[in-house]
Amino acid sequence: MRKIIGLATATMIGSLMTSGLAMAETMPCETKLPIDIPSNCDAIKVIKPIEKLENFRPLTTPKNGPALKPQTVFRSDQLDNLTKADQEKLSALGIETIVDLRAPDELEKHPNKHISTVDFNINLPIGSDPADVKKIMPLDVASQIGPLWFSGKFDEIDQLLKDHNVDLYNTRIDRYKDFARKFTPQISRFMHVLLEEQNYPLVFHCAGGKDRTGYVAAVLMLSLGFSEEDVMCDYLTTNLYTYDELSKLVADGPHSLRPAFGAHKEQITAALQAVKEDYGSFDTYRREALGISDEELAHIKKNLLADPS
């Protein structure tokens, strides 16, 4: 049975998501760190109403783009470490559906906490965590990184990866292309979940809410009529939400591991370029690969946009 949420409580949580009254960090718009920052950085408020979720947020959209219905769809990192207060806040938002993009072994190791209002949990695994170094380089190499890292021997990490021809930059580019080419059934299923009005409010997430979630968010935004520039701003907003941790990882850390830290323009660009190479246009990809007709898209827009015309 679907839960009926107290209007006052839901409104309070919703206001935290939009008014900036929740925990907010100083935005790193002028950072000198070698990280990508969204072009509309000054207009973005970093608001974290859920204590144990670092990257929980609505889609970041411009004021001059299509207007999303508030408190309808959220992107997030994994929900495994929620406090009881966090669980109550998510319940207060009336979350009905959780779409988990993680691999089965990730779910087993880090199961999501229960949200009382959720009626529909669906797992659509889009490969393993792209940040899991044990799965993107030889195990004997990966096993050496931890001790070297904690000893501060970052130059030795760079040399280690060079000696073993480990190129994280191109490996990550290839992983993003895989999002577009190897996981079409999962992306299609996600888009079809959006057709059902009773599935909202909805949260979709992976481990860190950056890579797999970032690609799914890009597909959703382009389907709704947002531009690739809008998609890029939403994607790079992760670097604002995770800035404190990111600054520690890239400030003095090994250069060879930087492609795995944060959101990178060239990575999401590679995924979208793969779509164009294979299908000619995003609309053709949406229709032919994802199986979302123009009529079905109109229904999704009706569910998600304030003015779907």
120-123 vs 73-76, strand pairing mode: unpaired
d(Cα 91, Cα 9) in Å, to the nearest integer? Answer: 10
**Nearest-CA neighbor of 302 among 234, 210, 230, 225?**
225
pLDDT (tens, 9 = 90+) of the chain, 309 residues, equals: 333 333 333 443 344 444 433 444 455 898 888 899 999 999 999 999 999 999 999 999 988 888 999 999 999 999 999 999 999 999 999 999 999 999 999 999 999 999 999 999 999 999 887 777 777 788 888 889 889 988 889 899 999 999 999 898 999 999 999 999 999 999 999 999 999 999 999 999 999 999 999 999 999 999 999 999 999 999 999 999 999 988 888 877 888 989 989 999 999 999 999 999 999 999 999 999 999 999 999 999 999 999 887
d(Cα 254, Cα 155) in Å, to the nearest integer? Answer: 6
Residue 22 phi/psi, 5° resolution? -80, 180
CB 202 within 8 A of CB 99: yes
Burial of residue 30 (number of CB atoms within 10 Å: 0-12, 13-18, 19+): exposed
